[in-house]
Amino acid sequence: MPELPDVEVYLLHLRRRIVGQELSQVRVASPFLVRSFDPPLRAVHGRRVESVRRVGKRIVFDFDGDLHLVLHLMIAGRLRWRPPGTKVAAKVGLAAFDFAAGTLLLTEASTKKRASLHLVRGEEAVRALDPGGIEPLEADAAAFAAALRRENHTVKRALTDPHLLSGIGNAYSDEILWRAQMSPVRLTQKMSDEELARLHEATQATLREWTELLARDTGDEFPEKVTAFRDEMAVHGRYKKPCPRCGAPVQRIAYADNEANYCARCQTGGKLLADRGLSRLMRGDWPKTLDELESRMRRAKDG
């Protein structure tokens, strides 16, 4: 799912191309995309784009007449900038937004069509679509700590809860926790002031650095390779690969449809976090520490 850095880079390029431009029409190819009916989508045809902004992970297109298109890309939604009038792809295409300078295509490479588009009138209607989490790059340390302590969740869950923090998902939460050298299962209401301050600093530094890196990589070209898995990442998507800080193999725990990637040596004091599925399978045979896991791996290799 595109997260804060990815969405910010989309915004950077959209502002260059469409702010001040008139949207001639929206061509919708998927009946599952549009989730609102009043005002009708045709009401935005012929309107000028006044600004483009981010609300959480959503992209908001502000038009004259106080109309706002609110796009949520969800997991597999992506944007493409193409020549004017480009057709919507048959299998993955959801919609096309036509401007004189080009066509913005919306695609979703998934059988589960989860991306959504709302057309609403007025700022209050936009706020109604906002889960309400604070902006991590704008919040000071005190506001950040208050948000995380509001409920007693694991810190991994808290970072990705859009009702607490805005714009962070599975990928960058892994990178933030690695930078802060913090266990993903640390409970937020048990965290010290020093831990929360360290996490706040790691959150802002990680998000800023990745936004700058992605913007630098795309240059003047519209971003085409928006992905949650990048070679420069420290732990996310790097299971069994060496931690760039200490060299220990990156570990992971799976839960629901997500997973957490972490370095046991850097983040959990060498303790392996029990994966729910493997723990049930292995029962008492689950290794408790990184040293025990590495010892077993050496014995298996030697034997």
Tell me, what's the pLDDT at 281?
41
Q: What is the pLDDT of residues 86-104, one digit of tens each?
A: 999 988 999 999 999 999 9
Sign (positive/negative) of CA torsion 169, 170, 176, 181?
positive
Q: What is the pLDDT of residues 222-277, one digit of tens each?
A: 999 898 889 999 999 999 999 999 999 999 988 666 789 999 999 999 999 876 55
Domains by residue range for the chain, with CATH = 4-128 (3.20.190.10), 141-218 (1.10.8.50), 251-302 (no CATH)
Tell me, what's the pLDDT at 283?
47
Tell me, what's the pLDDT at 254?
83
Task: Tell me which residues of the chain have a pLDDT lower than 50.
Answer: 278-286, 293
Tell me, what's the pLDDT at 259?
86
